[in-house]
Amino acid sequence: MMKFRGLLAMALAVGLFGFVAFSASAYTLKDPKYTIKQVMKAVEGKGALKDKVASGKATAAEKDKLVEYATALAETPCPKGDEESWKTKTKAFLEACKKVQAGEKDAVKAFGKANNCKGCHDAHK
């Protein structure tokens, strides 16, 4: 009887911990504004933002939109591969986009380095 009570108490504790952890994560996760496909189409597609940024011809509104897309990408869960790699790559991309938006010196160079399509596609697509 004592053993049963101990097991029951342990099961309840584990269940409560799991419920609390799940509930907390449900409140911290948010859906990104754009899907990966939408971001890729805008950044890499016809009339791509990346080309305008690289050439220095992007308008302030386009730079703002680029940061919006990069933010959505960083908020998206890793589709495939190593989660830490995904976070590192998307964070670097977002930071480079913010530098471009702010007009920082050497921002375009940083953007070119962080905008490594093959690096992400090989690891996460």
pLDDT digits (tens, 9 = 90+) for 21-77: 444 444 445 678 899 899 888 888 777 888 898 888 899 999 999 999 999 999 999
Residue 75 to residue 71: CA distance in whole angstroms:
6
* Environment class of 29 (CB within 10 Å of its CB; exposed 0-12, middle 13-18, buried 19+): exposed
Q: In whole angstroms, how large is the CA radius of gyration of the chain?
A: 21
pLDDT at 20: 44
User: What residues have CB less than 8 Å from 36, skipping those under 6 apart?
Assistant: 73, 76, 79
Q: What's the mean pLDDT when you consider all of the chain?
A: 80
pTM over 0.75: no
Q: How confident is the model at residue 116 (pLDDT cuts 50, 70, 90)?
A: confident
Take residue 19 and report the two structure tokens written for it: 């419920």
| Residue 90: count of CB within 10 angstroms of its CB | 22
Q: Give residue-wise pLDDT tens across range 16-33.
A: 555 444 444 444 456 788
Strands (DSSP E) contained in the chain are: none
